[in-house]
Amino acid sequence: GAGNKFANSWIHNGLLTINKEKMAKSLGNFVTIEEVLKRYPADVLKILFLQTHYSHPVDFSWKKMEEVKSAYDRIDILRERLNRLKAQGSRLKVKKSLQPTTLSIEDSFKKRFEEAMDDDFNTPKGLAVLFDMVNRCNILLESKDELKDFILRYAVDIMEEISSVLGLTFKEKEARISKKEIEDLILLRKKARETKDFKEADRIRKELSKSGIILEDQKDDTSWRVK
């Protein structure tokens, strides 16, 4: 009727409850999607649903949304770090040739995810694979493996593929100040730290925080992200 193609298939999902009770307008305990999206990115709500198999009931609470937001942040922070790594090119010189097993762990994640989706759209299992990848990548980032840059670039592509299947978009958040202003302040903070003017460095961090910018200090540099 709307001129669009009908869905080829549909599934009957479990009920949505709120704080273990049936959500109903008559009970006055319902929450609209608009209310949720004023407080959280859409991906956070998606992850809440994905954590439960579609055939089971999903229980909504603001406390659970906070827990899911923390999990979402773990993925989002890692993605930003990996995408920066991918964009700036490898700084490491590979001293040994790649072995057939070099990417075996990353390939196993993809295989596990496909198996989860083939298992009656088992999104909780699929989501668990994504979080296992987050743990693996965070360990690699801190490791001294000379192939880690190569492996991480491969891993981020798999993570993007898995996220896409799950409908997670991780839309880029807009900063309230320009990129140049942020990077200029980071440079000033770096100079302050080099001269051990930690009071000034802390002031700059707080100034950026008020503008919605979070700084993350790594061994060699400082990265930033929008809250």
Give 151-191 pLDDT, tens digit per residue: 888 898 999 999 999 999 987 777 788 888 999 999 999 99
Same-domain status, 90 and 123? yes
Containing structural domain, residue 51: 16-67
CB 105 within 8 A of CB 157: no
Q: Pick the residue with more confidence: 24 or 36? A: 36
Same-domain status, 96 and 27? no
Cβ within 8 Å of residue 17, ≥6 positions away: 23, 57, 58, 59, 60
pLDDT at 8: 78
Give me the half-sphere count of Cα atoms (radius 13 Å) on the Cβ side of residue 35.
Answer: 8
pLDDT of 25 strictly over 90: no
Residue 83: C-alpha distances to residues 98, 166, 172, 223 (Å): 22, 19, 12, 12
The secondary structure of residue 19, as a DSSP letter, is T
**Ranges 55-69, 76-90, 188-202: which has the least confidence:** 76-90
pLDDT at 1: 53
Give 119-159 pLDDT, tens digit per residue: 999 999 999 999 999 999 999 988 888 888 888 888 989 99
Average pLDDT in the chain: 87
Look at residue 11 and tell me if it is in a domain. no
pLDDT at 219: 72
CATH number of the domain within which 139 lies: 1.20.120
Same-domain status, 187 and 149? no
Cross-strand partners of 224: 215
Look at residue 20 and tell me if it is in a domain. yes
Q: pLDDT confidence of 100, banded at 50, 70, 90?
A: low
Q: Based on the structure, what is the number of domains in the chain?
A: 3
Q: How far apart are CA 89 and CA 140, in angstroms?
A: 17
Same-domain status, 105 and 148? yes
Cross-strand partners of 18: 21, 60
Look at residue 207 and tell me if it is in a domain. yes
